[in-house]
Structure 1
Amino acid sequence: MTVLSALRLSRAPVAAFAAVGVTWGCFAAMAPVLKARAGVDDATFGLMLLGTALGLATTLYVAPRWDRGLGRWAMPLGTVLVAFAALGPGWAATPLALFLALTLMGATSGLTDVVMNARVSEIEARAARSLMNANHAMFSVAYAASALATGAMREAGWTPEQIFPAISAALLLLAPFQFMETARPEPPDPDAPTRLPVALIAVCSGIVLIAFMAESTVESWSALHIERTLNGGAAEGAFGPAMLGITMALGRFSGQVVAARFSEVGVIRIASALAVAGVLVAASAPSPGVAYLGFGLLGLGISVIGPMGLALAGRLATPRQRTAVIARVAVIGFLGFFLAPALMGLGSEAFGLRWAFAGVAVLLAVVWPLSRSAHAAPIRP
């Protein structure tokens, strides 16, 4: 299946992935401004980012009920909630206000994340096609575009009170494109297993968790690394997360083709090795240019790890349990998306940003032995 046909087939969740990407691309490029306005050190700023994890944790129980209750409205209404939540950081002038704003963003973004990944898995099962990489690639495209646009607005003198409402308006424009009919509930099967596959959820969640931890660390701290450690300007700092988004998009579009020919486990192993090399280059970079190279290699590597972990979970789960398994793997994985920046802040405060980034390489190396647990996963024909 070509990338364009995959995007057409899953056009409704594609719009949701784009909306979430726009939200966090803006936040990543605005991180230096928000940190300076709050007047906090690296460790405190990292702990404030835990607000997003706190909000996301609520979606483990809320998202399935939200999805069942609203059906085709669940995804677009989730994006509308994200749009309103995105206004918060623009007006948060104190550490507590920013923490609460990030908590709300994490809750609404996580709600939409679970629903849109479940929708993609549902379409994959119905069409017997791999679609995760193409959808996650659109997140990366939107993320990079948003980060670049935010950097340009910063250079033009726009304030947070102006930038975040502009982003919110863009999200509202994407919501109407996210309607799609959902599958009818399957009748109860007395022979179907009643317990969820804990081992499958644990392995796939671990892979996705590490991938999103690495991704979110670079998204939240790359601009600060370039501007503070390497003395770059606002536009140069914004290009750090943008480079990650661009290369992740390229990796995921390529992964859409690769996923049709090779096993998820094999691709995950190769990608994790590339990601380790990239983050080490970024950590030791003497200039912004070298850091961009490292972030680019990292983006190519981690681009496919998360989507392939989700696809592996959806393929190996039973049809009746697929949505529940995807929801748990996605929520656990996205917890890493918000926990990692907080841990990065503590590491930066204790050892400096360079060593904190080097710690990400150690984390990514864990993917290799973890993937051994899924070595028996069948190869796609």
Structure 2
Amino acid sequence: MSVLRALSISRRPAAAFVVIGLFWGCFAAHVPVIKAQLGASDAMFGTLLLGSATGLVSAMWLAPLADRFLGARAMQFGVVALCCAWLLPPVMSVPLLFAVTMAFVGLSSGLLDVVMNARVSELEAAHGRPLMNANHGMFSVAYAVSALISGFTREAGLLPIFVFAGLAAICFAIVPFIRMAPAQTAQASDDSGHYPLWPITICGAIVLVAFMSEATVEAWSALHVERTLGGGAAEGALGPAMLGLTMAIGRFSGQIVAARLPEVTIILIAGVVSAAGAMIAAIAPMPAFAYLGFGILGLGVSVIGPMGLALVGKLVVPHLRTEAISRTAVIGFSGFFFAPMLMGLMSEAFGLRVAFGGVAVLLLCAVPLALLAAKLPFQAPPQHRRA
């Protein structure tokens, strides 16, 4: 199935993916200046980012309830809440207040994330087509573009708040176009007692590996380029931009590959490729080699998270799909509890090179998890295998 066709079918949730990508790409490029504004060490900054993790994980548990209550307006509410929340962290200079404002960011981002992934999974079931990679690819495109633009605005001396406010204005404009009602599913009479614990646990662990790796590189790649390798502000912003760009390429390519290969096979290959990229970034002697590593890492890790979420949508009965995706996302996004803190502590103790080496080891964990997922029975009908 073509990428354009997939995006046409899922254009409303795809727009929500763009919104999240724009804001997180902007934040990644501004990490060095925000960190300096707070006067925080590596370890402290990593700990402060737990604020967003707290909000994210809280949202994962609340999202199914919010989705049922808000219905067709759930994605619209999530976009508005996220736009408002991102106006607070860039103006904070007190560490504790920064952590609190990032909690609101995490809460809004998590709510929107669960709802938009659930809508894509529903569309996959309705059309019998893989759609998840194309939508996550739109996140990556928006992330890369936003990081690049933010790098140039940093070089020009523009304050972060003006950049975030500009993005918020753009995102507000698309709110009327992303209204989408959830699919109506009836509970089958013979499956009420079978909660999909193992699919959620195993797929959640796969998503955890992907999101922990993405989070560490997004938050620390600019610092690695600027501090470890001596790059400037624009060169530093190119680190997360390279990650976002190659993740977009990987996800759009994965959209085509997913119509031909099983999710498990894709996760196995992606785990090995992304681990190799992390190691190249870890040992890079200059920014150009780090960009190569981030690029290879982005190509590989790009499909692991979407495939994990798509996989759990096929391993559970339809009426539990939104809840299962939400619970899987809880496990996956819990990586935001550990990733910033562990990366900060490892960097403080051993340097960012060793920390990125740890990311490579983490990515290899996707291999045994994918093999476990292959043993689980599918509940959804197989998708049409054509491009």
Fold shared, TM-score > 0.5 on shorter chain: yes
Answer yes or no: is the 8 Å Cα contact 1:86–1:167 preserved in 2: no
Question: Equivalents in 1 of 2:89, 2:176: separation in Å?
Answer: 24
Cα offset, 1:28, TM superposition: 0.4
Question: Equivalents in 1 of 2:30, 2:150: separation in Å?
Answer: 7
State the secondary structure of the residue aligned to 1:180: coil
Question: Equivalents in 2 of 1:267, 1:67: separation in Å?
Answer: 30
Question: Equivalents in 2 of 1:185, 1:199: separation in Å?
Answer: 22
Question: Equivalents in 2 of 1:21, 1:307: separation in Å?
Answer: 14
Question: Equivalents in 1 of 2:107, 2:357: separation in Å?
Answer: 30
Distance change in 2, residues 1:116/1:122 (3 Å): same
Distance change in 2, residues 1:131/1:201 (3 Å): same
- Alpha-carbon displacement from aligned partner over 1:105-149 (angstroms, at most 9, x marks no partner): 001000100000000001111111110000000000000011111
Give the equivalent residue in structure 2 for 1:184.
184
Give the equivalent residue in structure 1 for 2:164.
164
Provide structure 2 residue ranges, at least 5 long, that are not aligned to the other structure.
Answer: none
Give the equivalent residue in structure 2 for 1:203.
202
Cα offset, 1:185, TM superposition: 4.5
- Alpha-carbon displacement from aligned partner over 1:185-239 (angstroms, at most 9, x marks no partner): 52x4332233421111111000010011101110000000001111100000000
Give the equivalent residue in structure 1 for 2:60.
60
After TM superposition, the structure 1 stretch with the greater mean CA deviation from structure 2, 80-89 or 367-376, is 367-376
Give the equivalent residue in structure 1 for 2:12.
12
Question: Equivalents in 2 of 1:118, 1:372: separation in Å?
Answer: 24
Residue identity (%): 56
State the secondary structure of the residue aligned to 2:30: helix
Cα offset, 1:171, TM superposition: 2.1
Cα offset, 1:280, TM superposition: 0.3
Answer yes or no: is the 8 Å Cα contact 1:15–1:175 preserved in 2: no
For residue 123 of structure 2, what is the amino acid of its counterpart? I
Give the equivalent residue in structure 2 for 1:38.
38
Cα offset, 1:161, TM superposition: 2.7
Answer yes or no: is the 8 Å Cα contact 2:50–2:336 preserved in 1: no
For residue 234 of structure 2, what is the amino acid of its counterpart? A
Cα offset, 1:372, TM superposition: 1.7
Answer yes or no: is the 8 Å Cα contact 1:215–1:337 preserved in 2: no
Q: Cα RMSD between the aligned structures?
A: 1.3
Give the equivalent residue in structure 1 for 2:21.
21
State the secondary structure of the residue aligned to 2:334: helix
Question: Equivalents in 2 of 1:19, 1:158: separation in Å?
Answer: 21
Provide structure 1 residue ranges, at least 5 long, that are not aligned to the other structure.
Answer: none
After TM superposition, the structure 1 stretch with the greater mean CA deviation from structure 2, 169-178 or 44-53, is 169-178
Answer yes or no: is the 8 Å Cα contact 1:90–1:162 preserved in 2: no
Question: Equivalents in 2 of 1:116, 1:331: separation in Å?
Answer: 15
Give the equivalent residue in structure 2 for 1:294.
293
Answer yes or no: is the 8 Å Cα contact 1:85–1:105 preserved in 2: yes
> Matches of residues 84-163 of structure 1 in structure 2 within 5 Å?
84-163=84-163
The two structures have a TM-score, normalised by structure 1, of: 0.97
After TM superposition, the structure 1 stretch with the greater mean CA deviation from structure 2, 340-349 or 172-181, is 172-181
Question: Equivalents in 2 of 1:60, 1:5: separation in Å?
Answer: 29
Give the equivalent residue in structure 2 for 1:75.
75
For residue 181 of structure 1, what is the amino acid of its counterpart? A
Question: Equivalents in 1 of 2:236, 2:28: separation in Å?
Answer: 10
Cα offset, 1:338, TM superposition: 5.2
Q: Does 1:373 align with 2:372?
A: yes
